A and B are shown apart, each in its own frame.
Chain A
Amino acid sequence: MKLEDIKKKNIYSVPDKYFDQLPTRIQARVNESKPAFGSSWNWNLVYKIAAPALAVIFLVFYFGIRNNYSEQSADYLLAQVSTDDLIAYLGTTDLSTDEIIEELDFSDIELDFYDEGPIMQDMDINDEEIDALFDEYGIDGDIL
């Protein structure tokens, strides 16, 4: 049997008034899927703006945390070591006193050698004698 011998006919039918009611039913489904507040998201805009913004925030947060952590961890660990242990450790190294002094940052340390406290009063030594001592031992008074 050939296909062309068969009468071409659409054998499918629909219920009465199907197409009349179809738009109403579709509209009902559309209304169900709408958000309650009537807001409509422009998802393209969300992707274009929110995604890069989130990426920037993440990077700032990540590197900020990382830097803070590395700084705090070094400072924190150092603070846990007692002064006596530090002195004992320095004694075991090959570093000389001058080399240690060179590494120190005196900007945060308040040095007041000219405060005439009880130690200076007991020493009975004047400024000229102090300068002479500096010259004898090769100490540069400017570092103080």
Chain B
Amino acid sequence: MVIDHDDTDDLVQDVFIKVWKHVGNFREDAQLYTWIYRIATNECLNFLRKKKNKFFLPIHDVQNELSEKLDSSHYIDGDEIQLKLQKALLKLPDKQRLVFNMKYFDEMKYEEISEITNTTVGSLKANYHHAVKKIEAFLKNS
């Protein structure tokens, strides 16, 4: 979601520290895996929101910055079409990109994604369908 390895590393640590601090509040009304995943997704989305607000950058500047990191990072290894796919994903709104990643790459069920994101299954299906259409249009035009 955040592309850069160092940012990802910071976020991973933040997530597990939050898990450790708040594990006492875990109500066991969901699976532990779901609860941790929810913390991770919230941390990602908050990070990206702060990044956009921090330097008063327009949204497309953040997209460009992440897109450049795809080309320059040592920890990204993919062929041309896979990099194009990742750049197409960066055009999506963060939450839509998040849902797409969970469905397409992590192959999670809609019910699991619904628990994590607190969104209805119907909304998720519509969301994913629109994301696929946008990506295919971008790949066709690029």
Q: Which of A's residues lie within 8 Å of B, judged by CB? A: 1-3, 6-15, 18, 22, 25-26, 29-30, 33
Query: B61-104, CB under 8 A of A: which get 1 and which 0?
Result: 00000000000000111100111011000000000000000001
Further pairs besides A9-B78, A9-B82, A22-B13: 11, Cβ < 8 Å: A1-B139, A1-B140, A2-B136, A3-B135, A3-B136, A6-B81, A11-B78, A13-B76, A14-B5, A25-B13, A26-B16
Can you identify 20 A-B contacts, CB atoms within 8 angstroms?
Answer: A1-B136, A2-B136, A3-B85, A3-B132, A6-B81, A6-B82, A8-B104, A8-B105, A11-B78, A11-B82, A11-B86, A12-B75, A13-B75, A14-B5, A14-B75, A15-B75, A22-B12, A22-B13, A26-B20, A29-B17
Ranked 8 nearest A-B pairs via Cβ: A11-B78, A1-B139, A13-B75, A26-B16, A26-B13, A11-B82, A11-B76, A3-B132
Tally A-B pairs: CB < 8 A: 46
Q: Which residues of B contact A1 (CB under 8 A)?
A: 136, 139-140
Contact A6:B17 (CB < 8 A) given known A1-B136, A13-B77, A22-B12 = no
Q: Which of B's residues lie within 8 Å of A, judged by CB? A: 5, 9, 12-13, 16-17, 20, 75-78, 81-83, 85-86, 104-105, 132, 135-136, 139-140
Q: Which residues of B contact A30 (CB under 8 A)?
A: 17, 20
Q: Which residues of A contact B77 (CB under 8 A)?
A: 11, 13
In the docked arrangement, what's the CA distance between A10 and B16, Å? 22
Closest to A2 in B: B136
In the docked arrangement, what's the CA distance between A5 and B82, Å? 11
Q: Which residues of B contact A2 (CB under 8 A)?
A: 136
Residue from B82, B136, B139 in contact with A7 in the complex, judged by beta carbons closer than 8 Å: B82
Q: Which residues of A contact B16 (CB under 8 A)?
A: 26
In the docked arrangement, what's the CA distance between A20 and B134, Å? 39
In the docked arrangement, what's the CA distance between A88 and B123, Å? 88
